[in-house]
Chain A
Amino acid sequence: MRESKNSYKSQITVNELSWKPTKDHKNILEKINITFDKGNIYGIIGPNGSGKTSFIKNLLHFVEPDKGNIMIEDVNLLDYRRKDLAKKIALVPQNTTMDSSFLVYDVVMMGRVPYQKRFAEASQSDIDIVTEAMILTDCYSFKDKEVDMLSGGEAQRVLTARAIAQDTEWLILDEPTASLDVKHQIELMESLVKLKKHKNKTIITVLHDINIAATYCNQIIMMKDGKVHSHGKTEEVLTKDKLREVYEINFEILDNMKNGKKYYIPYTCD
């Protein structure tokens, strides 16, 4: 265990986590051990089927671990009431299609549900928080649009705004850039950096694009076959050898003159 002044209190620790969807299925996640410290942006990367989304589902108590446990700030995840957990961790889901005629504003307001009484109307502070979240994610301009009329990118930003409105210390995103164009990819990732800086949020995001991960995440967790292949500081994890082991293709690594980070170019041997 790491020793620091507020060690467990500001961590999510995952201990020997194994999980399978049904009894006679093989393990999708196998003995995962990892600690998330506050104040970082974690990127979870890995090939399709490596268990990234399953891992997130476990972190959010959508499913229950078969072995091992997850401790959030020193309390077992399974001991949290769902409503209390929703005040700790927010999710931006992978599937952003919303087949509903709710307005954008109403959907972002749903981020306040964990804090509201059953029949309570939105308070002024709810309204302020929701407005700020919409401005931050650039969706205030279409707040009165119905959500089933949104483009993929707009829907993504609305759900991100909702997660921000949830006002949690931890924010989990499942492939947030998948349906965004280049401009919105960059804007979304930069808004995450801002959230970390100004709102003290710790961010855990599944990503497919290694260059986005390299640019915006300071910690990388690389998964393969349901296990954590390697994790740690971004430059230490994203090396030619490790990437080749995980993705089974080669990478050329260049210096990115624009931001001082690395730039990764995948290629095959033949």
Chain B
Amino acid sequence: MKKRNRVRVHGVGFLLIIILALEVILSASVGSANLSFFNSLKIIIHRIPVIGNFYDLSDVKEVYIKIVWDIRMPRILLAGLTGCALSVVGASFQGLFKNPLADPHILGVSSGAAVGATIAMLSGMTMSFMGLGVIGIFAFLGALITVFIVYQIACVGNKISTVNIVLTGTAVSMMLSAVISLLMAFHHDQIEKVYLWTMGSFSSATWQKVSFMSFFTLVGIVGIFMFAKELDVMTIGNDSAKSLGIDTSRVKKYLIILASLLVAACVSVSGIIGFVGLVIPHCIRLISGPKHKRLLPFSALGGAIFMIFCDTIARTITAPSELPVGVITAILGTPYFIYLLQHNKRKLGA
């Protein structure tokens, strides 16, 4: 019975990868200029080293190649990476804080980023680094500074209490939101810009941002995955984990550092996108079971699939204008989540 279970779980993983691949190609085909599925498939494959050389692109219009490869692909990949990162962080936080409500923004990362972004917008400065504009840079720094402060406040001696850190994160978030409101009260002309930023968007995606985000996603996700076993034991209880030889304070510290870097990178390229990090891990847990060794990689895939789907809708449904992707994630995700809650009342949760 155990063996059959394992086959089933691997099957689900394989299925998720196939869905993701099809979705990427499909999403690259739709938009104001509609391409056929096979044309975009060709364009994408053509870029893959070695195999790409066997594909002849001469029958595809130059402008389509540009649209798919230079405009749509960076955006799709950026959305995928962000969805991936946010839901892995969400899954690990739900285990770490033993709180089904934990999401990537619980430590005040997003409001810190928002303050940074707001200051950047109001200052009117221009600079860029690793493909990030001034808003992205300030958001990244704002996020990290905030987590650092929250972490310092929540430490008692050299111990971190999970209750303390969640409460401190929430309190600091509230204060920072007030700071944003205050800044906006003095700069009415910028309200729309700030507001739109906080709802999240991938419209400014570039290949540079994709490589920036790939770096953080890879390091962060691999890092978090190293703690899969520790997270399993910690969901049973702190005392249990300690008596089984796990240095819980160290695990908490490393996970918080890794997760904060990941979330800071996410908000700096896309603004604040809620919901994905909260809900995707819960949905995935229904398929993968509670073991983080499966939950984390499946959440990564699920998050990417969901985010690309939402962003594709965000940029096509009201074309040529577009909607903030955070709006779509919530509008699409909430009813589905409530449906799952109704049908699996006791199974949801860490």
Instruction: Give A residues with C-beta under 8 Å from B.
Output: 22, 60-62, 81-87, 89-91, 93, 95, 98-102, 106-107, 110-111, 113-114, 116, 118-119, 147-149, 159, 162-163, 166
Contacts and interface: CB of A to CB of B under 8 A. Distances in A.
Interface string B210-246: 0000000000000000101100110111011011111
A215 B176 CA distance: 61
B339 to A, nearest CB: 19
Contacts of B229: 113, 116, 118-119
A113 B290 contact: no
B3 to A, nearest CB: 12
B235 A100 contact: yes
User: How would you classify the secondary structure of chain B's contact residues: helix, strand, loop or mixed?
Assistant: loop
Contact of B245 (A85, A106, A149, A162): A85
Contact of B236 (A61, A87, A100, A166): A100
A95 B245 contact: no
B9 to A, nearest CB: 13
Q: Which 7 A-B pairs have the closest CB atoms?
A: A86-B245, A91-B243, A83-B245, A114-B245, A93-B239, A82-B245, A100-B235
Interface in B109-130: none
A101 B228 CA distance: 16
B158 to A, nearest CB: 11
8 contacts: A60-B243, A82-B245, A83-B245, A86-B244, A91-B240, A93-B240, A93-B243, A110-B244
A99 B245 contact: no
Given A106-B291, A113-B245, A98 B232 contact: no
Nearest to A100: B235
Contacts of A87: 245
B253 interface: no
Contacts of A85: 245
Nearest to A61: B242
A100 B350 contact: yes
B349 interface: yes
Contact of A60 (B232, B236, B242): B242
Contacts of A86: 243-245
**Residue from B228, B244, B350 with most neighbouring chain A CB atoms (10 Å):** B244
Nearest to A80: B245
A93 B237 contact: yes
B247 interface: yes
B244 A166 contact: yes
B347 interface: yes
Contacts of A119: 228-229, 293
Interface of B: 98, 157, 226, 228-229, 232-233, 235-237, 239-240, 242-247, 285, 289-291, 293, 346-347, 349-350
A2 B135 CA distance: 71
A90 B236 contact: no
B245 A62 contact: no
B237 A110 contact: no
Nearest to B6: A121
A59 to B, nearest CB: 10
B233 A113 contact: yes
Given A83-B245, A86-B244, A162-B240, 15 more contacts: A60-B242, A82-B245, A82-B247, A86-B245, A90-B243, A100-B235, A102-B290, A107-B236, A110-B232, A111-B244, A113-B244, A113-B246, A114-B245, A119-B293, A163-B243
A148 B293 CA distance: 20
A95 B237 CA distance: 9
A166 B242 CA distance: 13
Contact of B226 (A93, A99, A102, A118): A118
Contacts of A60: 242-243
A113 B312 CA distance: 43
B318 to A, nearest CB: 40
Contact of A102 (B235, B246, B247): B235
Contact of A62 (B235, B239, B244): B239
A82 B242 contact: yes
B349 A101 contact: yes
Contacts of B346: 148-149
B293 to A, nearest CB: 7
Contact of B290 (A101, A118, A163): A101
Nearest to B246: A82
Contacts of A99: 98, 235, 349-350
Contacts of B242: 60-62, 82
A114 B244 contact: yes
Nearest to B236: A98
A264 to B, nearest CB: 30
A90 B349 CA distance: 28
A100 B346 CA distance: 10
A58 B239 CA distance: 12
B233 A110 contact: yes
A146 to B, nearest CB: 8
A81 B237 CA distance: 20
A78 to B, nearest CB: 13
Contacts of B237: 93, 95, 98
A60 B285 CA distance: 33
A89 B226 CA distance: 25
Contacts of A84: 245
B290 A100 contact: yes
Nearest to A82: B245
Contacts of A82: 242, 245-247
Contacts of B244: 86, 110-111, 113-114, 166
Nearest to A87: B245
Contacts of A110: 232-233, 236, 240, 244
